[in-house]
């Protein structure tokens, strides 16, 4: 039985997963306090994690019908993310591990997004090519039999989720923009406007900066009243370009690697049109249910099924690493 804990951004998450990758509980407490600021405020996120983390862990255990004594391993997000937010989950996990003598597995959040599809009922095991499109990262990777991840290409500027959120903001939608943009796009025509898909970026790298700028200029050129009238068409066409930018690279990656197995993860993979587009590819495609695409602790536990636990003596010195940083070397 694995207890997963995830606090890298603004969702306080805990989950229980059994040794066969079945989810017994997956508790996600969305803070909902950042909307007024148009983005996550790191200090507020960390404080909200402090208030909720113990309650969320207790809820995950209760929902799974187990007690701490039944937990064989604790998996916790070590990074990347907001350091203050990460520290709350990390301290909670370390305290439980030390006091109860439970082995601790530090987990990279992005590996969680890559391996979310290995959980039941999908149970889609490597090898495969993975696309992760989340709020802070977007990349393609090759995942070998052991779950080792080798990056094949990534974004040269914004992440797909960032492009989604910035586009949504330009169209006057609240943060986080993804779900609202998808709803608005549902009433629009995805072929109404041609937005760039960075086709000129060769290989498996991606770019979203031109897309965002193109929407900004289009709205400015149309004028506010006209843009307001075409809001749904703009949303649908913009989202269509995000989907195509991703799908074109996925097609290239499958061809370049000669693979016919694709796993998809990250918050943007909750998007309906993207799911449809990728599922239509001539490959075996695994996209987890929406709640496993956005941040959750079940995916963190999934990684721990394939990674060794820390030596007990290394647990107290375990440190978080922020976005853009690499895991620190263990303290000797």
Ligand X SMILES: Nc1ncnc2c1ncn2[C@@H]1O[C@H](COP(=O)(O)OP(=O)(O)OP(=O)(O)O)[C@@H](O)[C@H]1O
Residues near ligand X (CB under 6 A) = 8-9, 81, 109, 113, 134-137, 161, 164-165, 176-179, 182, 266-268, 270-271, 294-295
For the CB of residue 313, give the shortest distance to ligand X in the complex, in Å. 30
Contact of residue 271 among Mg ion, ligand X, none (CB under 5-8 Å per partner type): ligand X
Contact of residue 268 among Mg ion, ligand X, none (CB under 5-8 Å per partner type): ligand X
Rg of the chain (C-alpha set): 20
Task: Return the residue of 185, 295, 300, 315 that touches Mg ion, per CB under 5 A.
Answer: 295
Residues in contact with Mg ion, counted by CB under 5 A, come to a total of 2
Give the tokens for residue 227.
């843009």
Which residues in the 117-136 window bind Mg ion by CB under 5 A? 134
For residues 116 and 108, is the Cβ–Cβ distance under 8 A?
A: no
Closest to 203 (Cα-Cα) out of 148, 151, 274, 259: 151
β-strands 128-133, 261-265 pairing: parallel
Contact of residue 165 among ligand X, Mg ion, none (CB under 5-8 Å per partner type): ligand X
Nearer to ligand X, 126 or 135 (CB): 135
Nearer to ligand X, 21 or 161 (CB): 161
Nearer to ligand X, 61 or 239 (CB): 239
State the Cα–Cα distance between residues 2 and 298, nearest whole angstrom. 9
- E strand or H helix that includes residue 111: helix 109-115
State the Cα–Cα distance between residues 267 and 244, nearest whole angstrom. 16
* Sign, Cα dihedral of 107, 153, 165, 115: negative
- Mask: binding to Mg ion, 255-294, rule CB under 5 A, as x and -? ----------------------------------------
Residue 324 DSSP symbol = T
- Footprint on this chain of Mg ion (rule: CB under 5 A): 134, 295
């Amino acid at each position: 039985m694995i207890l997963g804990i995830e606090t890298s951004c603004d969702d306080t998450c805990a989950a229980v997963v059994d040794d066969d990758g079945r989810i017994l509980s997956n508790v996600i407490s969305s803070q909902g306090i950042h909307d007024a600021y148009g983005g996550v405020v790191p200090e507020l996120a960390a404080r909200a994690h402090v208030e909720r983390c113990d309650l969320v862990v207790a809820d995950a255990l209760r929902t799974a019908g187990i007690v701490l004594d039944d937990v064989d391993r604790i998996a916790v997000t070590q990074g990347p993310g907001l350091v203050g937010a990460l520290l709350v989950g990390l301290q909670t996990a370390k305290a439980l591990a030390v006091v109860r003598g439970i082995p601790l597995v530090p987990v990279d959040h992005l590996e969680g997004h890559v391996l979310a599809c290995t959980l039941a009922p999908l149970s889609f095991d490597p090898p495969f090519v993975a696309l992760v499109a989340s709020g802070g990262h977007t990349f393609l990777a090759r995942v070998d039999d052991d779950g080792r991840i080798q990056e094949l290409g990534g974004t040269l500027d914004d992440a797909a989720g960032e492009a989604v959120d910035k586009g949504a903001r330009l169209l006057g939608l609240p943060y986080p923009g993804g779900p609202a943009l998808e709803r608005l796009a549902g009433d629009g025509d995805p072929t109404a406007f041609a937005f760039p898909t960075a086709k000129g970026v060769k290989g498996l790298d991606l770019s979203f900066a031109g897309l965002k700028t193109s929407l900004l200029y289009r709205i400015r050129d149309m004028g506010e009243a006209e843009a307001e009238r075409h809001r749904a068409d703009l949303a649908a066409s913009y989202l269509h370009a995000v989907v195509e930018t991703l799908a074109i690279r996925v097609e290239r990656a499958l061809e370049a690697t000669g693979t016919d197995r694709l796993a998809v993860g990250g918050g943007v993979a909750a998007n309906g049109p993207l799911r449809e587009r990728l599922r239509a590819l001539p490959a075996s495609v695994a996209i987890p249910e929406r709640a496993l695409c956005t941040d959750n602790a079940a995916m963190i536990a999934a990684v721990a099924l394939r990674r060794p636990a820390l030596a007990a003596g290394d647990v107290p010195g375990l440190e978080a690493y922020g976005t853009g940083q690499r895991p620190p070397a263990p303290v000797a």
